[in-house]
Amino acid sequence: MSQDNTKLRERNGGQILVEQLRIQGVRRVFLVPGESYLPCIDALYDHQDAITPIVCRQESGAGYMAEAHGKLTGAPGVCFVTRGPGATNASIAVHTAFQDSTPMILFVGQVGNDFYEREAFQEIDYRRMFGQMAKWVAQIDRTDRIPEFIARAFAVATSGRPGPVVLALPEDTLWGKATVADMPRYVRSHAAPAPHALASLAAMLEQAERPFLMIGGSGWTPEAMRQMEGFAERFGLPVGLAWRRLECFDNHHPNYAGHVGWGMGEALRARIRESDLLIAVGTRMGEATTEGYTVVESPLPRQRLVHVYPDPEELGRVFRAEVPVVADVVSFAAAVDGLRPAREHNRAALVERARRDYLDSQKALPAPGPLNLNQAACVVRERLPEDACITVGAGNYAVFPHTYYRYKGVGTSLAPTVGSMGYGLPAAISAKLEHPERTVVCYAGDGCFQMNLQELGVAMQYRLGIVVLVFNNGIWGTIRAHQEREFPGRTIALGFENPEFAELARAYRGYGEVVASDAEFGPALDRALDFASTHSMPALLELRYDPDGIAPGMTLSGIRAAALARQAAG
């Protein structure tokens, strides 16, 4: 809806702000109510036909939901929180959005300008607080400038490298009144590759014998993915996906070679190291993807590198690329859609071997105890529809879906590249709100789940049939693995007692069941999926397994034994 600016009317700041959100195409806002932005809450009452407020239980959950919405749609996820404690709780989602390059806008209530700089109740300087974790942080001190700031926020959040914007809202700005024109809806800008860069890429492709295409980042569309598939097919390129960007290329495609980063197989690691041309599209190639800057070395990679990224400041900052290309993924995919090989390449064997190695890695490995998580992950892969969405937080349990599930495309994976815990459940809620017809399954460790389990109340309230798999081993597993590697046999401060998760799910009017063996898992998953679909309420399976089986092909006892052997030899 846009306003006829020839008939301007006086509005308070909250009314002006919410009307701008409607103009910018916002359909859903995530919030924990606070008196510091009460005029905005009141203004939502008049826009219920267009904007749905999702009332969350804690600000980190609300922020994660907004961040996940940005990943799913490519449009900024919008979150409202109150000042002080609300903002600090939400900061984890802002950090996630920054490192994950996700468009997001966080609105934070603020003390009035008449109280500012007195350390008033819950006062924080948000420019200083969020300065290094957001693309832009500002405070709207004048009611009549709200449309200007909102339009700029949407432009900044989506341009170049997408990311979060934080806007502080002083109370006097929201309660104040102004007669001001609305701003038009933002138009997302795109950076396209220069002709000389495409020519250089084409020449390098002709020369390469062992090229590799690495895809990641944000902003992918189904059309861009199809164009990249065609590019990989024409030039005979094995394709890997950057750390936790599993949805950016169809895992069923014959050119797909696997997930690049922590936990990848040795064959894929060697393939990237030995490639003579690495084409990195949309990915920063951060620490996780490059395994500590070893698979792709910084600052000077051993591979010839073509690095495609929408932010020119990122190119050359960590890796010196032979051909740096300033372009977003959509524009680059459209550009290479027109490239054709000058001659026929004999890379079929290269692609087939990479695919065969990937499929070999999909076979369930053995694990200690009656419940094998490798086998369970394969059951999930077999039972879910291709358009299902898998969400995870952080922890070794997440390596199981990363290793065994085959993601189809945009919207089938939500995972924080920043490695933040507590993400999986809020992300699953956001996914189900956006795509109610799709199956949504959340993988959550017992520690990770308890960081935001209160958001089950959101799933209950809005009748969201998500399925949650809680991996209960009673330890902080990832840190325990590091502890055994560095200080073998000196385990301390990493175990905890858990509640009855299945009973907790029932308290939220959902379905809960405990699974402790391979034979139980498949039927239990079917029951959970059926309940979630039939009743439109959350279903939870608590998976009790031997904590020694810490990750695919890895045990804590094996990590300890290897560390002790190193100590004895050293």
Query: Cα–Cα distances in Å, from 249 out to 87, 190, 255?
Result: 35, 21, 10
Q: Strand, coil or helix: what is 80? A: strand
Domain boundary among 333, 359, 385: 359
Beta strands in 15-128 (DSSP E): 28-31, 52-55, 77-81, 104-110
Per-residue confidence at 111, pLDDT binned at 50, 70, 90? Answer: confident
In a domain, 158, yes or no: yes
Residue 469 CA to its chain's centroid (Å): 18
The CATH number that applies at residue 260 is: 3.40.50.1220
DSSP H helices in 536-569? 556-569
Residues 341 and 382 in one domain: no
Any domain includes 184: no
- Helices first, then strands: H and E counts in the chain: 21, 20
The partner residues of 80 in beta bridges, in order of sequence, read 31, 107
Beta bridge partners of 138: 167
In a domain, 187, yes or no: no
Asked whether residue 450 is assigned to any structural domain, the reply reads yes
Q: What amino acid is encoded at 405 in this protein? A: Y
Residues 261 and 152 in one domain: no
CATH code for position 459: 3.40.50.970
Q: What is the DSSP string of 307-342?
A: EEES-TTTTTTSS--SEEEE--HHHHHHHHTT---S
pLDDT of residue 483: 93
Q: Could you tell me if 456 and 513 lie in one domain?
A: yes
- pLDDT confidence of residue 120: 60
Query: Do 348 and 389 fall into the same domain?
Result: no
Beta strands in 158-282 (DSSP E): 164-170, 177-178, 211-215, 239-241, 256-259, 277-281
Please indicate, yes or no, if residue 446 is contained in any of the structural domains: yes
Summarize pLDDT for 32-52 with one digit per residue, the tens: 999 999 999 999 999 999 999
Same domain? For 375 and 353 the reply is no
Look at residue 121 in the predicted model and tell me its pLDDT: 62
Nearest-angstrom CA–CA distance, 176 and 13:
6
Side-chain-side CA neighbours of residue 54 (13 Å): 34
Which is nearest to 478 in space by CA: 419, 534, 438, 519?
419
Distance CA(147)–CA(268), nearest Å, equals 50
> Nearest-CA neighbor of 302 among 275, 279, 280, 282?
275
Whether 545 is in a domain gets the answer yes
pLDDT beyond 80 at 122: no
- 310 and 245 co-located in one domain: yes
As for how many domains the chain has, the answer is 3
Least confident window among 108-117, 208-217, 267-276, 327-336:
108-117
Taking 90 as the threshold, does the pLDDT of residue 535 lie above it? yes
Q: Band the pLDDT of 1: cuts 50, 70, 90.
A: very low
Q: What share of the chain is helix, strand, coil (3-state, %, to 5)?
A: 40, 15, 40
Structure tokens at 311: 């932010």
Same domain, 421 and 439: yes
Shared-domain flag, residues 72 and 174: yes
Alpha-carbon span 377 to 371, nearest angstrom: 11
pLDDT exceeds cutoff 80 at 3: no
- Strands 239-241, 511-515: pairing kind: unpaired
Q: What mean pLDDT comes out for the span 508-534?
A: 98
CA distance 92 to 469: 23
Q: pLDDT tens across 413-448, in order?
A: 999 999 899 999 999 999 999 999 999 999 999 999
Place of tokens 């008449």: 114
* Percent of the chain residues topping a pLDDT of 70: 97
Residue 6 binned pLDDT confidence (cut-offs 50, 70, 90): low
pLDDT beyond 60 at 293 = yes
Determine the structural domain holding residue 487 and report its residue range.
362-569
Copy the structure tokens of residue 458.
Answer: 């959101």
| Residue 157 located in a structural domain | yes
Q: What is the pLDDT of residue 4?
A: 54
The reply to whether 91 and 233 lie within a common domain is no
Taking residues 161-187, what's their average pLDDT? 97
Check pLDDT > 90 for residue 143.
Answer: yes
Q: Six-digit token pair at 326?
A: 């300033």
Write the pLDDT tens digit of every residue in 366-384.
999 999 999 999 999 999 9
Q: What would the mean pLDDT of 144-169 be, rounded to a whole number? A: 97
Average pLDDT value for residue range 535-546: 98
Backbone angles phi, psi at 434, to 5 degrees: -75, -35
In this structure, are 424 and 564 located in the same domain? Answer: yes
For residue range 294-322, list pLDDT tens digits in order. 999 999 999 999 999 999 999 999 999 99
Are 162 and 263 contained in the same domain?
A: no
Over the chain, what is the mean pLDDT?
95
Boundary of a domain, candidates 332, 359, 386? 359
Q: Would you say residue 185 lies in a domain?
A: no
Q: Are residues 107 and 256 in the same domain?
A: no
Question: What's the pLDDT band for 118 if we cut at 50, 70, 90?
Answer: low
Residue 392's identity, in one-letter code, is V
Mean per-residue pLDDT, 524-546:
98
Distance, in Å, from the CA atom of 197 to the CA atom of 188, rounded to the nearest integer, reads 23
Residue pair 171/112 in contact (Cβ under 8 Å)? The answer is yes
Specify whether the CB–CB gap between 16 and 147 falls below 8 A: yes
Q: Which of 178, 206, 224 is the last residue of a domain?
A: 178
